[in-house]
Amino acid sequence: MSWKELLFGKPIPDDEAEEEKLGPLAGIPVLGLDALASAAYGPEAALTVLLVLGTAGSRYIGPLIAIIAGLLLIVQFSYRQTIAAYPDGGGSYSVARENLGTKPALLAAAALALDYVLNVAVAISAGVGALVSAVPALFPHMLLLCLLLLGLLTLVNLRGLRTAGMLFMVPTYLFVGCLGLTLLMGVVKLVASGGHPAAVVPPPRLPTGTATASLWLLMRAFASGCTAMTGVEAVSNGVPIFREPRARGAQRTLAGIVGILAMLLGGVALLSHAYGIGATPPGQAGYQSVLSQVVSAVAGRGVFYYVTIAAIVAVLCLSANTSFAGFPRLCRLLALEGHLPAAFSHSGRRLVYSTGIIILSLLAAVLLVAFGGVTDHLIPLFAVGAFLAFTLSQFGMVFHWRRSTDPRAKHYRVVNAVGAGATALTLGVVAVSKFTEGAWMTFVFIPLAFLLFSATRRHYERVERATGTDQPMQVVPAPEPVVVVPVKRLDLVTEKALQFALTISPEVHAVQVRAQVHECAELNGCWRKRVEAPLKAAGLPVPTLVVLRSTYRQVVDPLLGYIRKLAKAHPDRFIAVLVPELIEHRWYHYLLHSHTATVLKMMLLFRGGPQVVVINAPWYLRERRHPFRDAVLRARKQPALRGARIQQPVSDAP
Amino acid sequence: MSWKELLFGKPIPDDEAEEEKLGPLAGIPVLGLDALASAAYGPEAALTVLLVLGTAGSRYIGPLIAIIAGLLLIVQFSYRQTIAAYPDGGGSYSVARENLGTKPALLAAAALALDYVLNVAVAISAGVGALVSAVPALFPHMLLLCLLLLGLLTLVNLRGLRTAGMLFMVPTYLFVGCLGLTLLMGVVKLVASGGHPAAVVPPPRLPTGTATASLWLLMRAFASGCTAMTGVEAVSNGVPIFREPRARGAQRTLAGIVGILAMLLGGVALLSHAYGIGATPPGQAGYQSVLSQVVSAVAGRGVFYYVTIAAIVAVLCLSANTSFAGFPRLCRLLALEGHLPAAFSHSGRRLVYSTGIIILSLLAAVLLVAFGGVTDHLIPLFAVGAFLAFTLSQFGMVFHWRRSTDPRAKHYRVVNAVGAGATALTLGVVAVSKFTEGAWMTFVFIPLAFLLFSATRRHYERVERATGTDQPMQVVPAPEPVVVVPVKRLDLVTEKALQFALTISPEVHAVQVRAQVHECAELNGCWRKRVEAPLKAAGLPVPTLVVLRSTYRQVVDPLLGYIRKLAKAHPDRFIAVLVPELIEHRWYHYLLHSHTATVLKMMLLFRGGPQVVVINAPWYLRERRHPFRDAVLRARKQPALRGARIQQPVSDAP
């Protein structure tokens, strides 16, 4: 078993593709972690903004979360239809492309791509951040831990979908189970205590309010809370990863994710209000996350608390995985339309789109390194991308229903139109209220990505116009090429090159470049004896020896000049330049060689002009002289011609 | 004028080589700066060791410098003969190679190479150090200044010898003039005052002695003072840079250098004693160099003082240049014998050995960066290398005279034997007394370089055994190659490749690799119409279309498998794999392409086996379809065959 198999697993053949696909139960860990983890930071983000209101803040969290949950249901409804209508995945991008045109589609794609990249960096640094606050000794190695986790996620995803699904199932359902149990216990206690439960471990006292609730403050709180909705679009991008009927599987997964998320958000909001839990100022001593306060208030600080917190940390870390499932598929769709290089549409040895996975990983690594592993200020960028995608998707669906013959199309259209309006409004609120906090960056990166996608497509179109044809081949019976063999000295490497040259053309020019001040063996002398004589004796054409003088000691320039002259003299023929090359065993042996051959090949390819073709004749260091001489002799049943002077038949010929 | 010409000057043709050479006057700045700059630190190094003796120390400096000057004269005498005997340069290396064998020669070469590299780093950091103590604001940028100076020296040397000689003449002769004048004035004052001159600016009081003169202390002082002798061997390495008669020019230069150096050393020793000047503890407050003390004592602190100090700083900086003249020529000699890659023996556009210059610069840069621009502790390594070279050279000359017919050979032999003994003894003293201070490193680096030189030569010998031959060419009339053209789709790039393939062989296999899950155009359909039909109509051979299935989505592996099968089926033929390649205008466009072609070419070259030859057919994005169709038509005076269906003659045919 090679290291490659050990690391990435055995290659999976094409016909096992169906077996690699997922059902809804595995779909939730693969595509839903991003959305579910939002439950851990969405309410907290809103409560942090409300902190200035003091105890009065918890009054508003309920309504805010209710609005967000409502939006969530609208978005879910929209994506349900999207999944059914576009079972090849792509979500917002596909919807926009079909219904709104290429430009809105690329805008959606740019927004989604940005979100996916951000999600990886932010999720990993959030997870590692939580881990580091638990084990402070790890603090100096934070960036390293982030990169290690990123590497691990990349590896797991390169191994294929099934691996990722199975591996992430345990922490996901542990997270859902523990948190669900906490909320259930909390609600039971709430009801039993008649609305005023006593906390097992009381939450920190809230500071006294320093402001009153203004519309601006509530808008900002709402915009922050909206980060809870990011990640919902992932399922609609990843429809093809489900087993048939895939639309059904994807819809069930989406329903599961949104249901669990809404339940968690509602429960957290309800219990925060009941127990008087607020946010604690982040980045200061005494900071405690809202979820930690909720769990301690309901269940105390026993084993259950620690298991729940561990599950939350694990899900935060692994929520990066949603991007690994969504981004490569989005890139594949873009590549199929020529907006990205074709490599993004090729599935690798484990049937995943390896190029997308690797590029995602590299982009996230750049972000992590650039921000030193702390990516908090990137969070506001998220919501803008997500809501842009939501809006474009729902707006697209409005057009979709217009052309549909479904009897319920009219109703659906209204729902999508309302949804588009709501998410567009939210997008506006988020963009305005978070603009200075970093949302402005989305107005730089999304257009940049948009331009990149457009420019790539334009380039491919130009290449296609230049190279594409459906005409029959133009048959121009050109004569044999003129073969040019650059020769430094007469050795076995050169001899093999000449042998090959003579099999493809009778007109071979062996060219030696000699500088006045360089030591370089005189060839004229031995050429006659060692090349001309044996070839003449065999009745074969004889290569011409050309010696070029180099006044400035370069080898490549005089050679290029000669080749150009030949090309002009024979405008109806190819000029094939045959570069002999010694193949070494070890890479470091190449340090010992001049790279004239490499430079020459590059120069000829890039500047040689349309008539020039480059031939590379390798000579292996362990190669026998003329390796298939015996075979030739056997095939021809005639003795070899070993040069003019040696006339006796070769002993090993049959 | 291109940036290349602006930076490096116009290329110099071979026949102007003689005009680029130097006379003794320019030879001193180019090859002598290392030796002359030693006057600035040799006596100082000895006096620093004697510091513990207090005022008693100056008693010993005279005899020590006298011994060193004596050694210097012996060494000069020896190198005088070396220059005459080996006018191709190489100094100790050439002498040892001719007279003692390869191993001692490589030992000498390793010692010299190490010295040259050390000299660049140490000289530059000494010069920049002196500059920085004058302008302390520059202190934080010391490493940057070192690297800038290194870059400048590299550039000047790449521009050629004449540039370097002319550029360095002014500071060199300013240094010699100012220092000579100071010493002359000092001696006049000494005589006039009857042996007890009064200092214009009195030197700092020497501390009271804390030790008495032991043999060990004097040995260490002597070993330190011997650094004054480094650099003397440079002239013997660089003989070919002189105008004819070059041996004469080199000998005069050597005599000039040694004469000036001996005079400076003697003068400094004499005046130090007369004025009671000692070293001041380096790296401590109140540090003042010995030369600064001498100049202030003799001439005061006027304009003359500052001009002299400036000249000293300049010469310290530029003394790195000696290495740039010597190292590349040493490398060239090693390369000619196969101990280094051949590139070291090629002279560049300005007739200097560019590879050696660049490698020297890189090695020195590594040292400078590794030591942060402060390389004081590397100084002891110097003397070991220099004296190892001196000893091997003189020992070699002893053998040289044994075979000589010169009537004075016997006398010379005795002188060289005495010299070899003296320098060997000094080598022992230096190695022992400086061992812990860093001289041990030479016992690591010199053997390493020695092994590198030997291993390189062995590798070239192995290659030579494998490829070299003086036999006539084995004429094996092999049939045309089987040509394999990997095809993805039928476009103009592929069409051109097929056109070329048909000019070299009637047996062409167009191979398409198709994976089940990949989108890839079906070729079978259009092949018949667009390739077979027009070729058949023209009576030309028709390529076979082969479609390979790829179960694991790779392209390269199935192709390699097919090529290997072909090679086995045709053991008597070359398998030419023709890789069509689209040539873009801009490098970044290559990011948009899959690199299957590049990977395939590499795999075929390195693993294809002896029968495989790789052909690269470029297609330029602006290329017209079949660029030399018109030429072919003109040449054949017949209308083109534009495929079976289009039968009318082409309009632009004559």
pTM comes to 0.74
State the pLDDT at residue A32.
87
What is the rounded average pLDDT of the residues A140-164?
Answer: 86
> Could you say which of B531, B601, B606 has the minimum Cβ distance to residue A473?
B531
Instruction: Please list the helix, strand and coil fractions of chain B in percent, rounded to the nearest 5, in that order.
Output: 65, 5, 25
> Could you say which of A475, A613, A643 has the minimum Cβ distance to residue B500?
A613
State the pLDDT at residue A643.
37
In percent, the amount of chain A with pLDDT more than 90 equals: 20
Q: Does B526 touch chain A (CB under 8 A)?
A: yes
What values do phi and psi take at B605, rounded to 5? Answer: -65, -45
What values do phi and psi take at B27, rounded to 5? Answer: -65, -35
A9 vs B148, residue with greater confidence: B148
Q: How far, in Å, CA of A114 to CA of B483, rounded?
A: 47
pLDDT at B653 over 50: no
Contact yes or no for A18/A157 (Cβ under 8 A)? no
Contact yes or no for B27/B242 (Cβ under 8 A)? yes
pLDDT at B262 over 80: yes
- Residues of B within 8 A of A612 (CB-CB) are 618
State the pLDDT at residue B281.
76
State the pLDDT at residue A253.
92
- Residues of B within 8 A of A645 (CB-CB) are 472
Inter-CA distances, B437 with A200, B34, B371, B380, Å: 70, 22, 16, 7
β-pair partners for B548:
B513
Q: Does B458 touch chain A (CB under 8 A)?
A: no
State the pLDDT at residue A517.
52
What is the rounded average pLDDT of the residues A643-652?
Answer: 33
Tokens of B346: 């090629």
- Residues of A within 8 A of B495 (CB-CB) are 469, 473-474
Distance in Å, alpha carbon of B13 to nearest chain A alpha carbon: 5
State the pLDDT at residue A334.
92
CA-based nearest residue in chain B for residue A346: B518
Quote the DSSP letter at residue A532.
Answer: I
In percent, the amount of chain B with pLDDT more than 90 equals: 21
- How confident is residue A646, by pLDDT bands cut at 50, 70 and 90? very low
Which has the minimum average pLDDT: A9-23, A210-224, A551-565, B422-436?
A9-23
Interface of A with B in 343-382 (CB under 8 A): 343, 345-349, 351
CA-based nearest residue in chain B for residue A634: B572
B603 vs B209, residue with greater confidence: B603
H runs (alpha helix) in B436-486: 442-467
pLDDT at B607 over 70: yes
Interface of A with B in 255-274 (CB under 8 A): none
- How confident is residue B637, by pLDDT bands cut at 50, 70 and 90? low
What is the side-by-side order of every strand in the sheet holding B612-620? Answer: A544-550, A508-515, A482-486, A575-583, A612-620, B612-620, B575-583, B482-486, B508-515, B544-550
pLDDT at B508 over 90: yes
- Residues of B within 8 A of A650 (CB-CB) are none
Q: Choose, out of B161, B241, B471, B473, the residue to mutate when testing the contact with A (most A CBs < 10 Å).
A: B473
The secondary structure element, H or E, covering residue B322 is helix B321-336
State the pLDDT at residue B189.
92
Q: Do B479 and A503 touch (CB under 8 A)?
A: yes
What is the rounded average pLDDT of the residues A165-175?
Answer: 86
In percent, the amount of chain B with pLDDT more than 70 equals: 91
CA-based nearest residue in chain B for residue A538: B475
Q: What average pLDDT is seen over chain A? A: 83
Quote the DSSP letter at residue A241.
Answer: G
pLDDT in tens, B20-72: 788 888 888 888 888 898 888 788 888 888 888 888 887 888 899 999 999 89
State the pLDDT at residue A436.
82
Q: Does A635 touch chain B (CB under 8 A)?
A: yes
Q: Do A621 and B12 touch (CB under 8 A)?
A: no
Q: Do A571 and B628 touch (CB under 8 A)?
A: yes
Q: Does A579 touch chain B (CB under 8 A)?
A: no
The angle at the Cα of A533, spanning A530 to A538, to the nearest 5 degrees, equals: 115
pLDDT at B554 over 60: yes
Highest mean pLDDT among A401-410, B132-141, B147-156, B371-380: B147-156
- Residues of A within 8 A of B336 (CB-CB) are 519
State the pLDDT at residue B519.
53
- How confident is residue A234, by pLDDT bands cut at 50, 70 and 90? confident
Q: Do B572 and A632 touch (CB under 8 A)?
A: yes
State the pLDDT at residue A516.
59
Q: Do A503 and B516 touch (CB under 8 A)?
A: no
Q: How far, in Å, CA of A616 to CA of A604, rounded?
A: 12
- How confident is residue B650, by pLDDT bands cut at 50, 70 and 90? very low
Flag whether the ipTM exceeds 0.85: no
Q: Choose, out of A158, A476, A624, the residue to mutate when testing the contact with B (most B CBs < 10 Å).
A: A476
Distance in Å, alpha carbon of B641 to nearest chain A alpha carbon: 6
Q: Do B456 and A11 touch (CB under 8 A)?
A: no
What is the rounded average pLDDT of the residues A553-564?
Answer: 86
pLDDT in tens, A9-52: 777 777 777 777 888 888 888 888 888 988 887 888 888 888 88
Interface of A with B in 118-177 (CB under 8 A): none
pLDDT in tens, A536-553: 988 888 999 998 887 777
Q: Do A476 and B499 touch (CB under 8 A)?
A: yes
H runs (alpha helix) in B492-650: 492-504, 524-527, 533-537, 556-569, 596-607, 629-636
> Could you say which of A471, A526, A621 has the minimum Cβ distance to residue B466?
A621
Which has the minimum average pLDDT: A384-388, A445-449, B432-436?
B432-436
What is the rounded average pLDDT of the residues A318-338?
Answer: 89
